[in-house]
Amino acid sequence: MSKKIASARISEKSSQLLQDLNNSLPFDKVLYGEDIQGSRAHAYMLYEQSIISKEDFEKIEFGLIEILEEVESGVFVLDGDDEDIHMAIEGRLTQKVGDAGKRLHTARSRNDQVALDFRLYVQKNTKVIANLLLENITTFVSVAETHANTMLPGMTHLQHAQPINFGYHLLAYASMFKRDYERFMSSYARNNYSPIGCAALAGTPHPISRQITSDKLGFTAPTLNCLDTVSDRDFALEILFNISTMMMHISRLSEELILWSASEFKWVTLSDRHATGSSIMPQKKNPDIPELLRGKTGRVNGNLVGLLTVMKGLPLAYNKDMQEDKEGVFDSVRTAILSLQVLNEMIAEMTVNADKMELACMIGHLSATDLADYLVKEAGLPFRDAYHITGNVVNLAEEKGLDISELSLTDLQSIDERIGEGVVALLDNRASMNARLSEGGTATVRTLEQVESLKGWLSSQKG
Ligand code: ARG
């Protein structure tokens, strides 16, 4: 057996069980691009600092470029018994370029190498997710603009409360996604510091320049403290938390879409491209997509709690427990990307059944608060008295089998004479919605203002 490249003191071949437990190559192979990118920057710095010769640098550089092509074309398959992606690529490089390959690991440890590769992966995918959020916000804003006058019952406790418009409802989600976007971008800025050059935990006696590698890799600057840097997985926890919060928003929307697609509501119809059938009931169209989005929120939360738990008891610096950091992040990132892509398509293609939404506004006396507000403003009543009078009006409407907006002036005045003529028009649901003109309110003009504000924000982000 050939000697393992990173095992100077271990003479026996590892037990198969140790390899099964220990090897991360089966999952960390997705980091091949980041590993090669990091090694190229490191080799360049070693050469710039005269730690390796120009000749060795060029061999390493061309060797690594070839390995990248080999992996991408399937010539070099990452399924050997190397411990991890770092050893697999270093081993391949040494096979190709000999001693120069063995010089690459000068002034570097796998501890700063993995911290770098994983951070590059997280930073790259943070941008991918953030851009998908922008695409979703764009879609939500456009559907919202179309439906800024489409009324539906706004709810609290899942009970009809006050009339709002569907655009306004969608903009609530667009606002959540805007916060999500800002959260991803602030994590990006906070974590954009280069770990490479920290070596095992304490730095290195070689005359390296961490500034050179940091610049070459697009980081803001090198990290401050090497002991922290090789022990830190906050950047991974941040993307997990950011994904969990975003998926919680997607899950709440999914729950609403599932309800709205039910026969009892029929407020929206998901496109046939996003509905599935039943294997036994030929008539069925099921909202599997929002159900899966809601369900996948569970697994991303699991990944967050999983890594928090791995990290909580670890002494500084690197411990092998930390190899458990990756699979959950890869899974959450994959889930987030797919979920955002599907969500965008589903919202763009769903049919909004405006007639059903508006009909639903006739259930539940949605404009009752307007009567109470009228009695306060016009008759000078204390709000609590106005509230009780309105309650009696609602009771009357119930007795008559009508909605409060359908009562005549005579009906209204039979409860309280102070109710004047203008009230009938006020109790109309659309009038009620458009009366909510306060900042951030649901009135159509206010909704359209919110549309404009988000459009302005979107163009400032994309520009
Ligand atoms: N495969 C390891 C990981 O993912 C790389 C770092 C190994 N470092 C070490 N000192 N054993 O964490």
Decide if pLDDT at 11 tops 90.
Answer: no
* Closest residue by Cα to residue 329 from 300, 371, 366: 300
State in Å: Cα 323 to ligand 1 middle.
6
Catalytic residue among 15, 53, 271, 278: 278
Ligand 1 atom nearest 85 alpha carbon: 1
Q: Bridge-partner residues for 155, per DSSP? A: 160
Nearest CA to ligand 1 atom 12: 323
Catalytic residue among 2, 73, 157, 279: 157
**Tens digits of per-residue pLDDT, 156-191?**
999 999 999 999 999 999 999 999 999 999 999 999
Strands 159-165, 193-194: pairing kind: unpaired
In whole angstroms, what separates CA 439 from the centre of its chain? 28
Ordered DSSP codes for 25-82: HHHHGGGHHHHHHHHHHHHHHHHHTTSS-HHHHHHHHHHHHHHHHHHHHTSS-S-SS-
- What's the one-letter identity of residue 203? G
Active site annotation includes 278: yes
**Tens digits of per-residue pLDDT, 43-75?**
999 999 999 999 999 999 999 999 999 999 999
10 sits in the region (left: phi over 0; alpha: psi -120 to 50; else beta) called: beta
Active site annotation includes 157: yes
> What's the average model confidence in pLDDT over 89-95?
98
* Closest residue by Cα to residue 232 from 270, 201, 197, 271: 201
Q: Bridge-partner residues for 154, per DSSP? A: 162
Ligand 1 atom nearest 326 alpha carbon: 4
> What's the average model confidence in pLDDT over 404-433?
94
Write out the two tokens for 328.
């959950």
State in Å: Cα 109 to ligand 1 middle.
9
Task: Please give the Cα distance from 64 to 62 (Å, whole number).
Answer: 5
Task: Please give the Cα distance from 114 to 34 (Å, whole number).
Answer: 10
**Tens digits of per-residue pLDDT, 291-343?**
999 999 999 999 999 999 999 999 999 999 999 999 999 999 999 999 999 99
Task: Please give the Cα distance from 112 to 116 (Å, whole number).
Answer: 6
Which residue ranges have their beta carbon within 6 Å of ligand 1? 24, 28, 84, 110-111, 114, 318, 320, 322-323
In whole angstroms, what separates CA 29 from the centre of its chain? 24
pLDDT for 24 = 96
Nearest CA to ligand 1 atom 3: 323
pLDDT for 124 = 98
pLDDT band at 274 (very low <50, low <70, confident <90, very high): confident
State in Å: Cα 320 to ligand 1 middle.
6
Give SS3 for 222. Answer: strand
Write out the two tokens for 307.
């890594």
pTM of the model: 0.95
Nearest CA to ligand 1 atom 7: 110
State in Å: Cα 19 to ligand 1 middle.
13
Query: Cβ-count burial of 309 within 10 angstroms (0-12 exposed, 13-18 middle, 19+ buried)?
Result: exposed
State in Å: Cα 335 to ligand 1 middle.
25
pLDDT for 1 = 37
Kindly report each contact of residues 380-383 with a partner whose C-beta sits within 8 Å and lies 24 or more positions away, as own/partner: 381/418
Task: Please give the Cα distance from 429 to 164 (Å, whole number).
Answer: 9
pLDDT for 463 = 61
Query: Cβ-count burial of 138 within 10 angstroms (0-12 exposed, 13-18 middle, 19+ buried)?
Result: middle
Task: Please give the Cα distance from 296 to 334 (Å, whole number).
Answer: 11
pLDDT band at 365 (very low <50, low <70, confident <90, very high): very high
Decide if pLDDT at 10 tops 90.
Answer: no
